[in-house]
Amino acid sequence: MRLDKMLAHLGFGTRSQLKKLVREGVVMVNGEVVTDSSIHVDPEEDVIQVWEEEVKYIQHLYLMLNKPAGYISATYDPVDSTVLDLVPKEYAHFNLFPVGRLDKDAVGLLLLTNDGKLAHRLTSPRHHVPKRYFVRVEGRVTEREARKFAEGFRLDGEEDITLPAQLVILSQGDVSEAEVTITEGKYHQIKRMFQACGMKVLYLKRISMGPLRLDPHLEEGEIRPLTEDEMNDLREAASGG
Ligand code: URA
């Protein structure tokens, strides 16, 4: 890979900025100052330093966001802010996109990455990756609703019946709380399933996707790279393991 391409990918500037930077003599490859930004390097083998600090090539980036309400899960929106507006500048050049969608008013776990293959494996309807949500709904949720969720619904405008979903009741009253696990991602799926039971979702928070759990220390709006362990678990789940 060309040195300028690698450094550009890591956010050190455009190719012409990098040409200048390298000419200034601040970039070293295997301990030697280089002056030509077009040379080829092996990101796996060569030690690249900029201003005497080693830089590591990262092709794919994986960030966990605790999405706040009010943001659209997309890379662009003509009107509203998107989840990409929450990404710190240091990651801005990675061409990130959200893996799956959370409604504008929904909160919680959202994975952002530039790894299209992994994203596809996690969101493809064929792979049935479970997604768990905490929900607060208007009305009394009972075992009757839990049975309906398990049996499946034919939602308006959909040909297929929803796949069996798990509804675990946490509290019952005029407002009830529950955890719902679904293995597909139809448009507004959980809201529409409750609507089919005559109930309105007041609050929806995603708490897990496959093996990835929302970090309880991550405040709404905060973002952090996945840990090695989270990455390994996610790759395993995406490969069908
Ligand atoms: N179900 C919904 O209704 N909305 C979401 O954002 C996710 C699941």
What are the helix and strand counts (H, E) for the chain? 6, 13
Among the options 103, 115, 174, 215, which is catalytic?
103
Which residues line the pocket of ligand 1, CB cutoff 6 A? 102-103, 106, 188-191, 204
Q: How confident is the model at residue 241 (pLDDT cuts 50, 70, 90)?
A: low
Q: Is 174 a catalytic residue?
A: no
Residue nearest to atom 4 of ligand 1 (CA): 188
- 78 has pLDDT over 90: yes
Domains of the chain and CATH, by start = 3-55 (3.10.290.10), 62-231 (3.30.2350.10)
- 19 has pLDDT over 80: yes
How distant, in Å, are the alpha carbons of 35, 56, 109, 118, 232 from that of 100? 43, 28, 10, 11, 20
pLDDT for the residue numbered 227? 96
Q: pLDDT for 119-138, tens place per residue?
A: 999 998 888 999 999 999 99
- What's the predicted TM-score (pTM) here? 0.88
- 16 has pLDDT over 70: yes
Q: Is the separation of the CB atoms in 190 and 204 below 8 Å?
A: yes
Q: What's phi and psi for 82, nearest 5 deg?
A: -110, 170
CA dist 201 and 178 (Å) reads 11
- Å from CA of 97 to ligand 1 middle: 18
- Å from CA of 180 to ligand 1 middle: 11
Q: How confident is the model at residue 143 (pLDDT cuts 50, 70, 90)?
A: very high
